Structure 1
Amino acid sequence: KCTHCNKAFNQKVVLQTHMVKHTGEKPHLCMFCPASFSQKGNLHSHVQRVHSETKGVPLFPCLDCSCVFKKLGSLNAHISKMHISVIEVP
């Protein structure tokens, strides 16, 4: 539940996305320039529109951070290296 407007959400991530409307926070930083965005989708659109060498070339954003890749293989390597944790079973 939002502490500013009492709007309720089923998922925590949706509440977190909503909260930036009140705080003005822009946690998604462009890796190519000083621009920042309140939502990952806006960052992705910015990178594709402004920084893509060939307009219309699909980019592959990481859903766990603000990194964006031009090749799916690079995204997959990034995810396996940076975001997958191994859980030890006793």
Structure 2
Amino acid sequence: MTSQQKAKAYWKENLKYLSILLVIWFLVSYGAGILFKDLLNTIRIGGFELGFWFAQQGALYVFIILIFVYIRLMNKLDKKYGYDK
């Protein structure tokens, strides 16, 4: 595999990871906080409606978790393609 082919394969896999993580973030932030708010508001946690919780705090927690997931995936990807040096 040439250096250019390796770089293209690396970038393609990186974009796949980014797409998946961004879709998850969209579903949690926009979906749970806005689209499915009424359905989620039937569930209460700690006295707060679940739709409200996702809109206020849950999306932020998920975003932070996704950052750490992305770091882990990129470290594995760097090792796979030899960019970890």
The TM-score normalised by the length of structure 1 is 0.29
User: Larger RCO: Structure 1 or Structure 2 (Cα < 8 Å, ≥ 6 residues apart)?
Assistant: 2
More strand by share: 1
Q: Higher Cα Rg: structure 1 or 2?
A: 2
Structure whose residues are more often helix by fraction: 2
